Structure 1
Amino acid sequence: MSAAPPLLQIDQLGVSFGAHAAVRPLDLTIAHGEIVALVGESGSGKSTVALATMGLLPRQAHVQGALRFEGKSLFGQSEREWSAVRGNRIGMIFQEPMTSLNPLQPIGKQVAEALTLHRPMSAQAARKEALGLLELVRLPEPQRRFGHYPHQLSGGQRQRVMIAIAVACRPGLLIADEPTTALDVTIQAQILELIDRLRRELSMAVLLITHDLGVVGRWADRVVVMKDGAKVEEAASAKLFAQPSQPYTRALLGASLHFGAGLHYRDVRLTDAPRAAPQRAEGTPARALLEARDIRVDYHGLRAVDGVSLDIRAGETVGLVGESGCGKSSLSRALTRLVEPSGGSIVFDGEDVTHRRRRALRPYRRRVQMIFQDPYGSLNPRHTVERTLGYALSIHGVASRRERDAEIRRIVDAVGLPASALKRYPHEFSGGQRQRIGIARALVLEPELVICDEPVSALDVSIQAQVLDLLVDLKHELGLALLFISHDLSVVRYIADRVLVMQAGRIVERGDQASIWTSPQHAYTRTLIDAVPSSQASYSTDTRKIDRDLQEQAAAPFHFDAPVPR
C-alpha cells in the first residue's frame, strides 16, 4: 500500500531578487496533521519560503521550482485562483499582530470578514461564527471584546485574534511565522499550546517558522534548519536535538541551550559550535551605588509602580523580571528621572537625586545611562553613528573635539564595530549591530550604572548571546553596575547576580539568581520559570496551569505600563 501524498510539496524552490538569492533550491514536504519547524536566523530565507507558499511574494521576485498543495500545482495560478487558496485552505499568522490587524475596525468584524470572504453567509451568521472562533482561541470575554479595537487588547490577545482569522475557514495548512517572538514567555507558551490544540481539533498541518530552536523541541515533529537561503539540515525533532549533524545547527542549539543553563558563551559564531566562556566573577562589591526606597509612579490616577525598594551595588548586575505591563519600564524611567516619581526616594552614590531638576540632573544622567529595547526607534535615523556618539559627548560638555573623536573611536572598537561604521546611518546595520550602537551611546559617557531595558528581546537568540556577552565583558572591563530588565527569566538568569521579580507594580520576590531559579518562593516566579522554553524534545509544560496561574494572579489593583508623558 503506497504512502499518502504529502499535503504540501515544495521541489527545488528558488527565489531571487535581482542578483540576490533569497532562497536557494529547496525541497520541503509537510504531511497531513504534521508540525514542521523551519528554523534559522533573520535573513536565512525562511519567511520568503512562507510568502512563496502563500503567493505573496512581490512582483520583482524571480521564482523557480514547483509548489503543490493538496495535489494541485500553485505556481502559475491567477490572482483569483490564489485568493481561493490563501486564507481559505492555507492560513497564516504573522509575527506582529498589531501591524497585521486593521486598527480602524473592531476585531469581531475582522474575524467575520475572514469568513464572508470565502463563504456566502448572512451578517448575523458571520457574527455568530466569529464569536465562536474567538471562544475557540480562548480570548477572554469574547462577547465583550467583540467590538474592541486592536489597540484595546494585549499582545497575546491580539495574537489570539490573528489565529482566529487564520483558522476561520478550517485550513488544511497553517503557517505560523514567528508567532511568539514579540510576546512574553508565559504568553508564548499559551499561544504555542493553542496552535497545537487547534492543529489536533481542526486536523491541520502547521509550518512553524522561528529563529529560536528553544521553542521547537516540544512542538515540532520535524525540523528544517536554514542558513543563507539554503537548507543545511533536516531531521526528526528528537534526533536533531540529540545528534545535530551540522556545525550551524549545533551553534543554534547551543545559543538556545546556554540561556536555560545559566552559562556564558564568549562568542556564538554560527559557522562553528560556540566556545565556552570563563565563569562569572565571584564576589559582590559591598558599596551601594543606587538606593531606591518606596518608589511610586502614577499615571492619571493609576499606579504603575507601587512602593518598590531596591539597591544596586557597584559592579553587580541586578535582574528585574516581569511580564509586559508589570511596571518595570516605568520603574526604570523613574530611576533615570525620565518621569517624576509620585513618591519615594532615589539616592545615588550617597546623594539624594529624587527632586533634582534640569541642569542639576545633568551630572546624575551622565553617570546613569540607559540602553533601550528598540535601537532603531531610539537612534536618530538622520544621524551617522559618529554624530550620534559625538552629540552625547557634546551635550555634556565632555572634552575637546580631538578628545571626543578619540573617545568615539575607542568606544566603537570596544563594542565590536569597525571604524567604518562611524560614517553610516542606523538603517545600514542589522538589529544586533544597531544594539551595539545603542550600547556605545550609553557607554561613551563612562557611566557607573547602565539600565538595560529589554535590550535583546527583539534579537535572534544567537545575537542575544553575543550582545549579552558583550555587556558582561564591558561590565568587567569598565567596572559597571547593570540593572537588566527583561520579561524572560532565562535571559536574566544568564546575566544577573541577583534577581527581582516584579508583578503588578510590586516586587514579589528577590534573591540571588541561583536560589530564584532552583527554589522560587512565589507562585508568579514559578509561573515564569514554567513558561521558559526548552530545546529538549522531552520538554513538558502544563500551559493550562500557566494560564490558570496567571488568571489567579491577575486579581491585582492594576496591570499596565504607561508611556513617558510628553
Structure 2
Amino acid sequence: MDLSLILEVDNLTVGPRAEGTAPILDGISFRLHTSEIFGIYAESGGGKTMLSRALADWLPDSLTYRSGRVMFAGHDTLKKTSTGTFRVGRDIAYIGSKPQSSLDPTMPVGVQIAEKLHSVRPEWTPNECRERVVQLLGEVRIPSPAERYYEYPSKFSGGMMQRAMIVDAICAEPAVLIADNITQPLDVTIAAQIVALLHDLCLRHKMATIYLTSSLPILGQFGKRTALMHHGRFVEEQPFEDLLKAPQTDAARSAIDSVPRIWSAGEGPAVRRHAEGEAPLMRVAGVHRTYRQRKRGTFNTYRNIQAVRGVTLDIMPRENFGIVGESGCGKSTLTRMLAWLETPDTGTIVLGGTDLAKLTPRELIRKRNEFQLLLQDPYTALPPRTTVGRMIEESLRIRGEIPRKEMRAKVTAAMAEVGLPAKLYDALPNALSTGERQRISIARALILDPKLLILDETLSAIDQREQGKLIDLFSRLQAKNDLTYVFISHDLAMVRKVCTRIAVMYLGEMVEIADNRDLFFDPQHPYTKALLSAAPTLEEKPFNAGDFLLEGEPPSPIDIPPGCSFASRCPKAFARCRVETPRLQEHQPGRFAACHLLDTAEAEPAAA
C-alpha cells in the first residue's frame, strides 16, 4: 500500500434517482497523494460542481451514488454503516465559488468560523479555536486579523471573503481540500494571489488538493496533473504542459482553442474614428460619490468612504468602452451612477446632451429608454416565479406606450433577436442555463430600443465558450441597432477582444485611459502593468508577474493616504509620489495617465 495515498476514487457514477436516466458523473477514477495538487478542467455544465459535492458526500436529495467508491485513508466514505473516524468538514474540506453567500451575514466572520471549527474539533477549547482562526486569517494575508475576526461579511471585499473561506476550510487541518472554481468571481490580481496562496498552503499544511475550474489558464499556474472533464467523464489526463503541447482528444483541443488570447490576438477591435466635433453620447465630468458609515461602538460618529473620486470620461457613440480594476476600486458604484440608480454627490452625467440631474421623475422614466443596465448574476436578476415573456414585457407595461395585444409579438421578436425560442415565452426560468438567462436580460434591455447598454460583469458568470457566443451576439446587435456599450469587467481577455477604448480604475479614480492596443502593448501606469501581468492566459506575457504582481489589497477608501493612492503598492514609487497626487493628463494624443513616473525629469529609483 502507498503510504502517501490519501484519496482513491474508483468508477464513481452519480445520477438522478429515477430509473432509466443518464448519469451526471460517469465512471470517474483517480488517485490523490498527500501534498499533491490535482487540477480538473470542465466547461460550465461539465460536472465540476457535482463531482466536488459527490467527493464531499454532499449530494442533493434528487441524486444518488449509482456505483463506485471514494476511499479516504482506507475508509469508504460512501458506506454510511461502516465504522471509521472520517468526517466531512474535518478530513475533507470544500470551498465554493460564491463566498459572499457562504457565511451568515448577521454574525462576525471569525466568530462563525470558530464555531464551526469547535463543532468538528470538539476536543479544542473555544479559546484555542479563536486563536487558530486568527492565526490563519493572518496566514492568508488578511490585514489586522485580530480586528477583522469581529467584522461582519458585509465589510469584506470579494478577495478577502474568499481568503476567509479558505480559512474556514483549512482551520480543522483537513487532509483533502476541494476548491470548486474559487477564482471565477475574482479580479485578476486577487485571483493570482489566491492561486499562489492556495499552492503555498497546500505544501505548508501537507494537504492534498483538488482544484476544479472552468479556466484552463488557471490550471497552468499549478502545472501538475491535469484532467479534462467532458459531460461528466474524464476524457484526458496528463501533466498540464503535455496537455497543451499534445492534446489527445477533440474536447481538449477545443478547450485550448476556446481560450482567448490577449497579446497574440492580432490588432483587436478596430477603433472607431469619429467626426471632428462629434459630441459624446455620455459625458461624465468630475463625479464624486462618498458614503457615510457609522463608526463601530459609537452613537453619532461617522467616517466617510470615498467610493468614486473625481471621475471624468467621455463615451462616444457606437464605441465599446471598457472599465477595469480590482474589487473595491469603485467600478460598481460608478456603474450605478452611469445607470442613474445612484446620484453623484458632485459632478455631472450628461446623456445625449441632457443633464440627468435636471430631469423630473416622469422625464427620467422616458429617458431610461435610452440607457439600460445588465447585471452580473442572471440568477438573482430574474424573478423565479415570473414567466420569460412577462419579464421581458414588464418595462413596456410600465410605460403603457404599446397596446397589450401587440406586446407578445414585440417580445417574441426581441427573443428571436437574442437567440431565444418563442416556446420559452410562457416558461419559468428555473430550468434555463446561465447563458439563456443572460439572453433574457439582454432581451429585457433591448425591448426599449436603447442607445447605450451598461454591462456590469455581465459575462463573468459563464464559461469562455458561452462568452464567445454572447460577444458575437453583442456585435451583431451593435451593427443592427447602432448600440454603444460600456463593459465593466475584470476579465482582461474579454476586454481585449471587445473594447475599443479602456479606462483603468484604482481606488475610486481613473489612472489610465487609452485605445485597446496602446493599453495592452504599451501601458503607461504601473497599476495597468500589474493587472496585465496577472491575467490568466496560455501565451507568453510581456509583463513579468514577479516584477509587477501586487500583494494585498488597495488601501482603505476611508483613510486614503496623501499623494498617489497607488504609491504604497507601486514598485517604482519615489518621494514625490507620497506627497503629491498625480492628475489624469493627456501625455500622448488619446492617451491619458495619472503617474509622476511619466515626468522623467523628476522620476527617481524606488527607495530601498
Instruction: Tell me if both proteins adopt one fold, taking TM over 0.5 as the criterion.
Output: yes
Q: What residue number does 1:45 align with?
A: 47
Q: What residue number does 1:9 align with?
A: 8
How many correspondences in the alignment?
A: 543
CA drift of 1:420 comes to: 1.0
Change (3 A) 1:175 1:384: same
Q: What residue number does 2:130 align with?
A: 127
Structure 1 CA distance for aligned equivalents of residues 449 and 411 of structure 2: 11
CA drift of 1:353 comes to: 3.0
Q: What residue number does 1:62 align with?
A: 64
Structure 2 residue 213 is the aligned partner of structure 1 residue 210: yes
Structure 2 residue 374 is the aligned partner of structure 1 residue 387: no
Q: What residue number does 1:563 align with?
A: none
Deviation per CA, 1:420-479, whole angstroms, max 9, x where unpaired?
A: 121212223111111111111111221111111111112222222222221122112221
Residue aligned with 2:395, SS: helix
CA drift of 1:47 comes to: 2.1
Q: What residue number does 1:269 align with?
A: none
Structure 2 CA distance for aligned equivalents of residues 80 and 523 of structure 1: 58
CA drift of 1:173 comes to: 1.7
The answer to whether the 8 Å contact 2:492/2:535 transfers is yes
Q: What residue number does 2:105 align with?
A: 103
Query: What residue identity is the alignment partner of 2:272?
Result: G
Structure 1 CA distance for aligned equivalents of residues 258 and 68 of structure 2: 33
Query: What residue identity is the alignment partner of 2:68?
Result: G
Structure 2 residue 257 is the aligned partner of structure 1 residue 254: yes
Q: What residue number does 1:285 align with?
A: 274
Structure 1 CA distance for aligned equivalents of residues 470 and 561 of structure 2: 36
Residue aligned with 1:225, SS: strand
Deviation per CA, 1:176-221, whole angstroms, max 9, x where unpaired?
A: 1112122222111111111100111122221001111121111141
Residue aligned with 1:30, SS: strand
The answer to whether the 8 Å contact 1:217/1:539 transfers is no
CA drift of 1:401 comes to: 4.1
The answer to whether the 8 Å contact 1:217/1:538 transfers is no
CA drift of 1:282 comes to: 5.2
The answer to whether the 8 Å contact 1:353/1:361 transfers is yes
The answer to whether the 8 Å contact 1:527/1:549 transfers is no
Higher helix proportion (structure 1 or 2): 1
Change (3 A) 1:69 1:134: same
CA drift of 1:123 comes to: 3.0
Structure 2 CA distance for aligned equivalents of residues 303 and 104 of structure 1: 25
Structure 2 residue 96 is the aligned partner of structure 1 residue 94: yes
Structure 2 residue 228 is the aligned partner of structure 1 residue 225: yes
The answer to whether the 8 Å contact 1:115/1:168 transfers is yes
Structure 1 CA distance for aligned equivalents of residues 175 and 540 of structure 2: 25
Residue aligned with 1:548, SS: coil
2:204 to 201, 207, 210: 201
Change (3 A) 1:355 1:81: farther
1:489 to 488, 492, 496: 492
Q: What residue number does 1:556 align with?
A: 560
Residue aligned with 1:232, SS: strand
Q: What residue number does 1:463 align with?
A: 466
Structure 2 CA distance for aligned equivalents of residues 148 and 544 of structure 1: 33
Deviation per CA, 1:89-126, whole angstroms, max 9, x where unpaired?
A: 32222222233234344333344345443362333333
1:27 to 20, 29, 47: 29
Q: What residue number does 1:377 align with?
A: 380
The answer to whether the 8 Å contact 2:228/2:252 transfers is yes
Query: What residue identity is the alignment partner of 2:34?
Result: H
| Larger CA deviation: 453-462 vs 535-544 | 535-544
CA drift of 1:227 comes to: 1.9
Change (3 A) 1:551 1:321: closer
Residue aligned with 1:362, SS: helix
CA drift of 1:407 comes to: 2.6
User: Under a length normalisation based on structure 2, what TM-score does the superposition of the two structures give?
Assistant: 0.82
| Larger CA deviation: 242-251 vs 470-479 | 242-251
CA drift of 1:540 comes to: 9.6
Structure 2 CA distance for aligned equivalents of residues 259 and 176 of structure 1: 27
The answer to whether the 8 Å contact 1:38/1:207 transfers is yes
Change (3 A) 1:457 1:106: same
| Larger CA deviation: 111-120 vs 378-387 | 111-120
Q: Where in structure 2 are the equivalents of 1:332-351 lying within 5 Å? A: 332-351=335-354
Q: What residue number does 2:356 align with?
A: 353
| Larger CA deviation: 520-529 vs 429-438 | 520-529
| Larger CA deviation: 341-350 vs 506-515 | 341-350
1:474 to 449, 460, 477: 477
User: Under a length normalisation based on structure 1, what TM-score does the superposition of the two structures give?
Assistant: 0.88
| Larger CA deviation: 42-51 vs 197-206 | 42-51
Structure 2 CA distance for aligned equivalents of residues 36 and 311 of structure 1: 46
Query: What residue identity is the alignment partner of 1:12?
Result: N
Residue aligned with 2:538, SS: coil
Structure 2 CA distance for aligned equivalents of residues 251 and 150 of structure 1: 39
| Larger CA deviation: 244-253 vs 215-224 | 244-253
Query: What residue identity is the alignment partner of 1:188?
Result: A
Change (3 A) 1:5 1:292: closer
2:167 to 164, 168, 173: 164
Query: What residue identity is the alignment partner of 1:62?
Result: T
Residue aligned with 1:378, SS: coil
Change (3 A) 1:100 1:310: same
Structure 2 residue 442 is the aligned partner of structure 1 residue 439: yes
Query: Aligned residues: percent identity?
Result: 34
Change (3 A) 1:119 1:395: closer
Segments of structure 2 that go 5 or more residues without pairing to the other structure are: 293-303, 566-608
Relative contact order, CA 8 A, sep 6+: which one is greater? Answer: 1
Q: What residue number does 1:267 align with?
A: none
Deviation per CA, 1:260-308, whole angstroms, max 9, x where unpaired?
A: 65579xxxxxxxxxxxxxx745533333222221122233354322221
Q: What residue number does 1:268 align with?
A: none
Structure 2 CA distance for aligned equivalents of residues 225 and 472 of structure 1: 31
Q: Over aligned residues, Cα RMSD in angstroms?
A: 2.8
Segments of structure 1 that go 5 or more residues without pairing to the other structure are: 265-278, 560-566
Deviation per CA, 1:136-175, whole angstroms, max 9, x where unpaired?
A: 2222111111222323222222222221232223332211
Query: What residue identity is the alignment partner of 2:8?
Result: Q
Structure 2 residue 538 is the aligned partner of structure 1 residue 535: yes
CA drift of 1:81 comes to: 4.0
Change (3 A) 1:244 1:477: farther
CA drift of 1:366 comes to: 0.7
Q: What residue number does 1:155 align with?
A: 158
Structure 2 CA distance for aligned equivalents of residues 346 and 115 of structure 1: 50
Query: What residue identity is the alignment partner of 1:420?
Result: K
Structure 2 CA distance for aligned equivalents of residues 442 and 79 of structure 1: 56
Q: What residue number does 1:564 align with?
A: none
Residue aligned with 2:136, SS: helix
The answer to whether the 8 Å contact 2:453/2:486 transfers is yes
The answer to whether the 8 Å contact 2:260/2:493 transfers is no
The answer to whether the 8 Å contact 1:241/1:536 transfers is no
| Larger CA deviation: 532-541 vs 237-246 | 532-541
Residue aligned with 1:420, SS: helix
Structure 1 CA distance for aligned equivalents of residues 146 and 16 of structure 2: 45
Structure 2 residue 319 is the aligned partner of structure 1 residue 316: yes
Structure 1 CA distance for aligned equivalents of residues 263 and 424 of structure 2: 33
Query: What residue identity is the alignment partner of 1:338?
Result: L
